[in-house]
Amino acid sequence: MSPRPSPDEGLTAAQLSAKYGLTVSGARPGLAEYIRQLWGRRHFILAFSQAKLTAQYSQAKLGQLWQVATPLLNAAVYFFIFGVILKASRGMSRDVYIPFLVTGVFVFTFTQSSIMAGVRAISGNLGLVRALHFPRASLPISFALQQLQQLLFSMIVLFIIVVGFGSYPSLSWLLIVPILVLQFLFNTGLALIVARMGAKTPDLAQLMPFMLRTWMYASGVMFSISTMMEGRSEVFVRLLQVNPAAVYMDLMRFAIIDGYGASNLPPHVWAIAAFWAVVLFVGGFVYFWQAEERYGRG
């Protein structure tokens, strides 16, 4: 069969490949090697997230203005329904409730949209995955990074609202940085997990909005868990409060709203925040890596 006579005749395929240093195609690299490859693509990850961010509104006439207008409109809708119609502000003055609500909406949206983008990170970019070789974790990480940049735009709106309702910048605002780092790690971990699940079962993208909405209403985005759940058992309230979404929201509110004191935070709140971030990020990364060779197949 061989078209040319070869001095390697007689060697089996395995021996021949070993002799010339060939490797099995499509094999998954080890975890350390994978992290090294991923680090090599850090410019790609950053450029991809920025490109996606600007492409998002490329078809809109107002263009990049929507980066800021979208979160603002979101906050207005929630304020109308929960602040004006349902009066969920129980126990809070208007000066606290409005920043409370807007912070909650923005912080939760950060996690929510990271997950929604993560589900489609592989299944929505099959063209790219099938055409070029790169560590696939670049995609979910890049989408989480895109949401972080989106949140930074929202933060501009948030600062204006918070200052408008009488909470002025103070030293506690510095806490924003560690809070965002922890939440970003948490979101990235979740995005990696759902990216693997979504790659195998694209139906997840249909199911996700319902799960996320349930999570949102249970996390106290528009009401204070401790006030609303008064009279319920202690364990129940604590369970609601250690929910990672609630933890990051409450920490952010504590950091920037003057009238929102430490009494609203569950005990060991920083430990809980760090725990969720590290466990989800490391767990999610390993979980995603384990299926590396299977993405884009079928």
Partner 1 sequence: MAEQNLEQTPRDLVPTVIADELHIVYRVHGAKTGKGSATSALSRIVKRGEERGVRKVHAVKGVSFVAYRGEAVGLIGSNGSGKSTLLRAIAGLLPAEKGRVYTNGQPSLLGVNAALMNDLTGERNVILGGLAMGMSREQVRERYQEIVDFSGINEKGDFITLPMRTYSSGMAARLRFSIAAAKDHDVLMIDEALATGDRKFQVRSEERIRELRKSAGTVFLVSHNNKSIRDTCDRVLWLERGELRMDGPTDEVLKEYEKFTGK
Nearer to partner 1, 8 or 230 (CB): 8
Listed residue (137, 126, 123) closest to 34, CA to CA: 137
Q: CB-based contacts of 27: which residues, under 8 Å, 6+ apart?
A: 293
Among the residue ranges 110-118, 126-134, 221-229, 257-265, the one whose residues contact partner 1 (CB under 8 A): 126-134
From the list 18-26, 114-122, 180-188, 280-288, the region that binds partner 1 by CB under 8 A is 18-26
- Pick the piece of the chain touching partner 1 (CB under 8 A) from 4-12, 89-97, 110-118, 147-155: 4-12
Is 267 or 298 the residue whose CB approaches partner 1 more closely?
Answer: 298
Give whichever of 58 and 263 is closer to partner 1, judged by the CB atom.
58
Q: Least distance to partner 1 from the beta carbon of 44, Å?
A: 4
Within 8 A by CB and 6+ apart from 238, the residues are 266
Contact call for residues 52 and 143 (beta carbons, < 8 A): yes
Examine residue 133 and tell whether it contacts partner 1 (CB under 8 A): yes
Assess 207 for contact with partner 1 (CB under 8 A): no
Residue 19 lies near partner 1 (rule: CB under 8 A): yes
CA 289 to chain centre: 18
| Residue of 268, 267, 213 whose CA lies nearest to 245 | 213
The CA distance from 126 to 142, in Å, is 15
**Rounded to the nearest 5 degrees, what angle is found at the Cα of 263, between the Cα atoms of 99 and 159?**
20
Output the six-digit token pair for 147: 């949401």
Binding to partner 1 (CB under 8 A) within 24-63 occurs at: 24-27, 40-41, 43-44, 47-48, 51-52, 55, 58
How many CB atoms lie under 10 A from the CB of residue 46? 15
Q: Does 228 bind partner 1 (CB under 8 A)?
A: no
- How many of the other CB atoms lie within 10 Å of CB of 251? 22
What x/- string results for residues 152 through 191 when contact with partner 1 is judged by CB under 8 A?
Answer: ----------------------------------------
| 105 vs 100: CA distance, rounded Å | 9
| Footprint on this chain of partner 1 (rule: CB under 8 A) | 1-4, 6-8, 12-14, 16-17, 19-27, 40-41, 43-44, 47-48, 51-52, 55, 58, 125, 127-128, 130-134, 138, 293-294, 296-297
